[in-house]
């Protein structure tokens, strides 16, 4: 009845995958009056919602609270026999995830999207095979959006078994915080779990192959977080190389060399492998449909409107490369659905994707790092405003870090913004908006920010980039 | 079916308070709807006649479905009804709307469905009233990103003349960059038109000519002008006897320099000096302010093969006729070859359009925003006029000024025109 299928195909659009890229594409397609089906073999919401962003954020909230309670003396709060037990926190985290997964199911229903349970494969043309419990059936559509996501990478010397050597998934299902944990990989995932386990009493060691933690962030952000983690008694080895991991019943022996080439061997309870993710682009019928992959990384090659090389086939989210971030996938999902419905006017601006790490202190950024801006030869001015100059941060007792704004001197564009500190991941949105609207740094300052708030520091950072921050 | 509560998924019609054929005004209560929470009133969001009711009393419909049609009396809703299978999509499709329109319609309804109970009143019209001609909000400022504005300023481009590719035609960085590139690139040589004494025989009834960028800009700018700019017009009839004599004398003197001034050059000079006496007419409307200029940069409308452009004679009040003449000729020549630099056609404070050479006696010109005024100059013609009770024949010229009433009031425009007329009727006064 609805849609433009005219009876030739079962659907206007089939979305393979019900993670953040897929389900958002499905909702938007439904809103636009397209008859849509979302094929998902597992739980709706994908990794993000079930075993990724959301449950880890629930745990990080617990971890932050633990940290605050440990320092609660200054607020006049004291405890006898203070304990922090990971089990209930994990349970709470699962509850949050399952509530949201049900929410996605409701949203699909509300937008008249058929949730097709099963494993989807392209058959070529507009056909998709859905396999469930060994049964296969075929559905067709005018357009297909691939949103099959990604999975943790396993390295030869670091084979994930989820028993002793975890991926993020294993780390999310522990009832107890172990005594010792090595985290391999100091990207967002590694740093977040290091934070969680540290808060619950685990002795955490972080090993990173590159020369700093959070290597995609600005150097100053990396340094600030590394310092904060060290203050929390975590050991951090950068420019370090893992040589071997041997898992036994009662623990893991991990050998690595540090930046000076010195060999270390640690016997720990568990190892978390957080060395990146690889796309789910095998066994989904890409060859049958003739969909091309990128030369590096086996991602599906797309353009800025999420089109693959095959007309009528689109790809969004982690499987399509670029930043492997849920919000990027969601945005691509919207863009894909709108283009399919013929109302697509915008493309994905991959240069304006915010990065967020929710450890304590939080880290967020958008645009270029200072180093990248200088490498590009831009004539820049950098402003850095420390939280120590912000009343609200001081009042809240959380004044680690800074807001750094990089301004292109020619037109005063916001080239990049980097935040370490309280609610960094919320505050970054203002810079994303400023960049999207092509605002100048002056305008961020001219827009009045409420006092006393953390957001004032955004304006101060902007002023800093003009050489005239007020409160420093 | 409108979402009358945040959680409502479907509603049951308890009672229709209006029947088919009843006139409906916006805000009228159409029906009582039982939601998951309570019985609520369904209020009309549009006006017209309740033409069709699809969901009878006691029946239910999911949120978003069409339950009735309100449309103007006599409007054909056949296609709309035929297309209605029930769903909102069907409604949009049935209306024969394009895909894009269908998207817009369903988006509006999706928004309606999301609107919480508390703001029942301003919910978008849930009736599938066929696309009525909604008046777009009148633009009062140039929509452009701050970065684009700076870029344009640097590149010497008038942002108001650029076509925006952002949402709602907003001029963004890439538009200015493209315009700057286009301005910097040497114009591509247009193929010479075939020289033929007769129009080529045509075997088709009509010919569709694609719009050039310039044509598009002209269309957009004129539309902007006649839309939001409240024009009014003032006409004076000028005795050109002395102006013609003065021009003759000036040209005798200029002959030595190889220059020759036209009547229009004299009008430019006279208008520029007059504007310095009446700065209220030498002004820009800036949305939230009016900018009055102390110097007169006169935009001179020049016809070019696919449109028109107004190169600017800067500080015309301070220039001699010979120089004005030379500049206008030179600018017009390059305008026809599309070789003008952006700074040569932007920044004018007042414009002059002259169609006298086509024998046009009198016309009105469209204001070139943000300027507040333009004069339309007709041909100098011998006409009988009554002077001191006697009819005599004089060379006369009509000048019609278009004024932006937001900037210039009637008396102000009239005073400027009186000064201009006095200058043209006694050119020596310009020297005073």
Give how far A3 is from chain B: nearest CA, Å. Answer: 6
Is A438 within 8 Å of B86 when comparing Cβ atoms?
A: no
How far is B260 from B270, CA to CA, in rounded Å?
17
Of B103, B110, B172, the CB nearest to A438: B172
Of B87, B147, B154, the CB nearest to A413: B147
Is B87 within 8 Å of A1 when comparing Cβ atoms?
A: yes
- CATH code for the structural domain at B231-431: 3.30.559.10
Is B99 within 8 Å of A411 when comparing Cβ atoms?
A: no
Is A342 within 8 Å of B150 when comparing Cβ atoms?
A: no
Give how far A388 is from chain B: nearest CA, Å. Answer: 31
Of B89, B145, B154, the CB nearest to A438: B145
Per-residue pLDDT of chain B (432 residues; tens, 9 = 90+): 877 766 677 788 888 888 888 888 877 888 888 776 667 778 787 778 888 888 888 888 887 788 888 888 877 777 777 766 544 433 333 333 343 343 343 444 444 444 343 333 333 444 444 444 444 444 457 789 999 988 888 888 888 888 888 887 889 998 898 888 887 765 444 444 444 434 444 444 455 555 666 666 666 666 666 667 778 899 999 999 999 999 998 888 888 887 889 999 999 999 999 999 998 899 988 777 778 888 899 999 988 877 888 999 999 999 999 899 999 999 998 888 878 888 888 889 999 999 998 889 999 999 988 899 999 999 999 999 888 888 999 999 999 999 988 888 889 999 999 999 999 999 988 887
Q: What is the mean pLDDT of residues A84-96?
A: 95
How far is B103 from A29, CA to CA, in rounded Å?
10
Which residue does chain B place closest to A415, by CA atoms? B147
In chain A, the domains with their CATH numbers are 11-151+278-350 (3.50.50.60), 165-275 (3.50.50.60), 361-464 (3.30.390.30)
Q: Classify residue B295 as left (phi > 0), alpha (psi -120 to 50) or beta.
A: beta
Tokens 């633009």 belong to B139
Is A341 within 8 Å of B151 when comparing Cβ atoms?
A: no
pTM score: 0.60
Is B103 within 8 Å of A32 when comparing Cβ atoms?
A: yes
Is A411 within 8 Å of B86 when comparing Cβ atoms?
A: no
Q: Which of A12, A30, A308, A17 is nearest to A142 (CA)?
A: A12
Of B85, B103, B145, the CB nearest to A33: B103
Give how far B83 is from chain A: nearest CA, Å. Answer: 10
Q: What integer pLDDT is reported at residue B95 of this predicted model?
A: 39
Is A343 within 8 Å of B104 when comparing Cβ atoms?
A: yes
Q: Which of A46, A53, A56 is nearest to A108 (CA)?
A: A46
- CATH code for the structural domain at B10-119: 2.40.50.100
Give how far B87 is from chain A: nearest CA, Å. Answer: 7
Q: What integer pLDDT is reported at residue B164 of this predicted model?
A: 84
* B156 CB-near residues (< 8 Å, 6+ apart): B341, B342, B343, B346
- Provide the token pair at B26: 């916006």
Q: Which of B231, B277, B343, B405 is catalytic?
A: B405
Give, in degrees to the nearest 5, the angle at Cα B61 between B55 and B63. Answer: 130
Reduced to 3 states, what is the DSSP secondary structure of residue A256?
strand
Q: What is the DSSP letter of B348?
A: -
Q: For A427-454, how does the pLDDT look when each residue is reduced to its tens digit (9 = 90+)? A: 999 999 999 999 999 999 999 999 999 9
Q: Percentage of chain A surpassing pLDDT 90?
A: 93
Chain A positions touching B104 (Cβ under 8 A) are 343
- Provide the token pair at A113: 């999207």
- Provide the token pair at A207: 């090993």
Give how far A74 is from chain B: nearest CA, Å. Answer: 43
Is B146 within 8 Å of A443 when comparing Cβ atoms?
A: yes
C-alpha dist (Å) from residue A94 to A46, A55, A101, A435: 14, 6, 11, 36
* Radius of gyration (C-alpha) of chain B in whole angstroms: 30
Chain B positions touching A412 (Cβ under 8 A) are 147, 150
Which residue does chain A place closest to B147, by CA atoms? A438
How far is A123 from A113, CA to CA, in rounded Å?
21
Q: What integer pLDDT is reported at residue B203 of this predicted model?
A: 47
Give, in degrees to the nearest 5, the angle at Cα A418 between A415 and A424. Answer: 135
Q: For A17-76, how does the pLDDT look when each residue is reduced to its tens digit (9 = 90+)? A: 999 999 999 999 999 999 999 999 999 999 988 999 999 999 999 999 999 998 899 999
- Provide the token pair at A396: 């809240």
Give how far B41 is from chain A: nearest CA, Å. Answer: 23
Main-chain phi, psi angles of B281, to 5 degrees: -100, -5
Is A31 within 8 Å of B110 when comparing Cβ atoms?
A: yes
Which residue does chain B place closest to A345, by CA atoms? B167
Q: Does residue A451 carry a catalytic annotation?
A: yes
Is A343 within 8 Å of B100 when comparing Cβ atoms?
A: yes
Is B146 within 8 Å of A342 when comparing Cβ atoms?
A: no
Is B148 within 8 Å of A443 when comparing Cβ atoms?
A: no
* Radius of gyration (C-alpha) of chain A in whole angstroms: 23
Q: What is the mean pLDDT of residues A164-179?
A: 95
Q: Chain B residues within 8 A (CB-CB) of chain A?
A: 9, 85-90, 92-93, 98-100, 102-104, 106-107, 110, 145-148, 150-151, 154, 167, 172-173
Chain A positions touching B167 (Cβ under 8 A) are 345-346
Name which of B89, B97, B157 to mutate to probe chain A: the one with the most chain A Cβ atoms within 10 A of its Cβ: B89
Q: What integer pLDDT is reported at residue B219 of this predicted model?
A: 62
Q: Where are the domain boundaries for CATH 2.40.50.100 in chain B? A: 10-119
Asked if pLDDT for residue A182 goes beyond 80, the answer is yes
Chain A positions touching B93 (Cβ under 8 A) are 4, 33
Q: Chain A residues within 8 A (CB-CB) of chain B?
A: 1-4, 31-33, 110, 112, 338, 341-343, 345-346, 410-413, 437-440, 442-443
Is A1 within 8 Å of B102 when comparing Cβ atoms?
A: no
Instruction: Report whether A179 contacts A269 (CB < 8 A).
Output: yes
Chain B positions touching A346 (Cβ under 8 A) are 167
Is A343 within 8 Å of B110 when comparing Cβ atoms?
A: no
* A272 CB-near residues (< 8 Å, 6+ apart): A165, A166, A167, A168, A170, A171, A181, A182, A183, A184, A190, A193
DSSP-H helix ranges across B66-115: 78-83, 88-94, 99-114
* Strand positions, DSSP E, B210-267: 231-239
Chain B positions touching A440 (Cβ under 8 A) are 146-147, 150
Is B90 within 8 Å of A345 when comparing Cβ atoms?
A: no
Asked if pLDDT for residue A4 goes beyond 60, the answer is no
Query: Across all residues in chain A, what is the average pLDDT?
Result: 95
Q: What integer pLDDT is reported at residue B430 of this predicted model?
A: 87
* A229 CB-near residues (< 8 Å, 6+ apart): A191, A194, A195, A198, A206, A213, A236, A359
Chain A positions touching B106 (Cβ under 8 A) are 31-33
Of A4, A412, A438, the CB nearest to B173: A438
Q: Where are the domain boundaries for CATH 3.30.559.10 in chain B? A: 231-431
Chain B positions touching A3 (Cβ under 8 A) are 89
Of B102, B110, B150, the CB nearest to A412: B150
Return the number of CB contacts < 8 Å for A and B: 64
Instruction: Report whether A245 contacts A252 (CB < 8 A).
Output: yes
Q: For B233-251, how does the pLDDT look when each residue is reduced to its tens digit (9 = 90+)? A: 999 999 999 999 999 988 8
Reduced to 3 states, what is the DSSP secondary structure of residue A14?
strand
Give how far A288 is from chain B: nearest CA, Å. Answer: 30
Give how far A304 is from chain B: nearest CA, Å. Answer: 16
Is B154 within 8 Å of A411 when comparing Cβ atoms?
A: yes
ipTM of the complex: 0.71
Tokens 């998709």 belong to A128
Give how far B267 is from chain A: nearest CA, Å. Answer: 41
Q: Which of A75, A346, A436, A451 is catalytic?
A: A451
């Amino acid at each position: 009845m609805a849609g433009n299928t005219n009876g030739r195909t079962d659907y206007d659009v089939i979305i393979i995958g019900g993670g953040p890229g897929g389900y958002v594409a499905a909702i938007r397609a439904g809103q636009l009056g397209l008859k849509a089906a979302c094929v998902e073999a597992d739980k709706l919401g994908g990794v993000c919602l079930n075993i990724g962003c959301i449950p880890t954020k629930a745990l990080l909230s617990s971890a932050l609270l633990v940290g605050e309670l440990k320092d609660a003396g200054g607020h006049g709060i004291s405890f006898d026999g203070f304990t922090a037990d990971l089990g209930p926190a994990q349970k709470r985290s699962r509850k949050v995830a399952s509530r949201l997964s049900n929410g996605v199911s409701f949203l699909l229903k509300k937008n008249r999207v058929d949730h097709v349970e099963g494993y989807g494969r392209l058959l070529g043309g507009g056909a998709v095979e859905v396999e469930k419990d060994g049964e296969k059936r075929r559905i067709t559509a005018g357009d297909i959006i691939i949103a099959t996501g990604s999975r943790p990478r396993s390295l030869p010397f670091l084979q994930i078994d989820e028993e002793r050597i975890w991926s993020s998934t294993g780390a999310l299902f522990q009832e107890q915080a172990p005594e010792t944990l090595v985290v391999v990989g100091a990207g967002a995932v590694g740093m977040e779990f290091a934070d969680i386990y540290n808060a619950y009493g685990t002795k955490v060691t972080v090993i990173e192959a590159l020369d700093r933690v959070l290597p995609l962030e600005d150097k100053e952000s990396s340094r600030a977080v590394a310092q904060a983690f060290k203050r929390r008694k975590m050991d951090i080895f950068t420019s370090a190389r893992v040589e071997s991991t041997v898992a036994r019943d009662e623990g893991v022996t991990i050998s690595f060399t540090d930046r000076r080439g010195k060999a270390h061997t640690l016997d720990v309870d568990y190892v978390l492998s957080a060395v990146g993710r690889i796309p789910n682009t095998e066994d989904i019928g890409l060859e049958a449909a003739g969909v091309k992959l990128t030369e590096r990384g086996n991602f599906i090659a797309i353009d800025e409107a999420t089109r693959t090389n095959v007309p009528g086939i689109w790809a969004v989210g982690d499987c399509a490369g670029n930043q492997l971030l849920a919000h990027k996938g969601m945005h691509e999902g919207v863009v894909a659905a709108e283009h399919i419905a013929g109302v697509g006017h915008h493309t994905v601006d991959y240069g304006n994707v915010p990065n967020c790490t929710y450890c304590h202190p939080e880290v967020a950024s958008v645009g270029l790092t200072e180093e990248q801006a200088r490498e590009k030869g831009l004539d820049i001015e950098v402003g850095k405003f420390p939280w120590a100059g912000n009343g609200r941060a001081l009042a809240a007792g959380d004044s680690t870090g800074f807001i750094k704004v990089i301004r292109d001197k020619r037109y005063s564009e916001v080239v990049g913004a980097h935040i370490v500190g309280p609610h960094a991941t919320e505050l970054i949105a203002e810079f994303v908006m400023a960049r999207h609207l092509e605002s100048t740094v002056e305008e961020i300052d001219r827009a009045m920010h409420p006092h006393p708030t953390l957001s004032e520091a955004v304006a101060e950072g902007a002023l800093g980039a003009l050489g005239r921050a007020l409160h420093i | 079916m409108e979402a009358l509560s945040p959680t409502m998924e479907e509603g049951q019609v308890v009672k229709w308070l209006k029947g088919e054929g009843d006139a409906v005004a916006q805000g009228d209560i159409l029906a009582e709807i039982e939601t998951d929470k309570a019985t609520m009133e369904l209020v009309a969001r549009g006006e017209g006649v309740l033409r069709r009711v699809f969901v009878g009393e006691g029946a239910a419909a999911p949120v978003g479905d069409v339950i009735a049609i309100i449309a103007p009396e006599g409007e054909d809703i056949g296609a709309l009804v035929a297309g209605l299978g029930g769903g909102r999509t069907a409604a949009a499709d049935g209306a024969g709307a394009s895909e894009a329109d269908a998207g817009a319609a369903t988006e509006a309804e999706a928004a309606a469905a999301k609107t919480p109970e508390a703001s029942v009143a301003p919910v978008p019209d849930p009736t599938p009233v066929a696309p009525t001609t909604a008046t777009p909000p009148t633009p009062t400022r140039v929509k452009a990103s701050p970065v684009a504005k700076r870029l344009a300023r640097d590149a010497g481009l008038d942002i108001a003349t650029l076509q925006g590719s952002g949402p709602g035609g907003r001029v963004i960085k890439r538009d200015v960059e493209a315009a700057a590139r286009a301005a910097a690139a040497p114009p591509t040589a247009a193929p010479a038109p075939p020289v033929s004494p007769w129009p080529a025989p045509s075997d088709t009834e009509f010919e569709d000519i694609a719009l050039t960028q310039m044509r598009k800009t002209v269309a957009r700018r004129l539309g902007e002008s006649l839309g939001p700019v409240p024009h009014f017009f003032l006409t004076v009839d000028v005795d050109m006897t002395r102006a013609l004599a003065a021009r003759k004398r000036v040209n005798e003197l200029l002959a030595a320099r190889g220059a020759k001034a036209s009547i229009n050059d004299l009008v430019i000079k006279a208008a520029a000096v007059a504007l310095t006496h009446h700065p209220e007419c030498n002004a820009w409307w800036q949305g939230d302010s009016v900018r009055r200029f102390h110097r007169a940069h006169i935009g001179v409308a020049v016809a070019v093969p696919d449109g028109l452009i107004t190169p600017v004679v800067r500080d015309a009040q301070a220039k001699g006729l010979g120089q004005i003449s030379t500049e206008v000729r030179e600018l017009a020549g390059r305008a026809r070859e599309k070789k003008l630099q952006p700074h040569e056609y932007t920044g004018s404070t007042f414009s002059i359009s002259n169609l006298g050479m086509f024998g046009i006696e009198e016309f009105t010109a469209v204001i070139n925003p943000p300027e507040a005024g333009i004069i339309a100059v007709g041909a100098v013609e011998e006409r009988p006029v009554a002077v001191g009770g006697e009819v005599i024949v004089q060379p006369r010229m009509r000048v019609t000024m278009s004024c932006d009433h937001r900037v210039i009031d009637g008396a102000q425009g009239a005073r400027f025109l009186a000064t201009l007329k006095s200058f043209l009727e006694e050119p020596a006064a310009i020297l005073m």
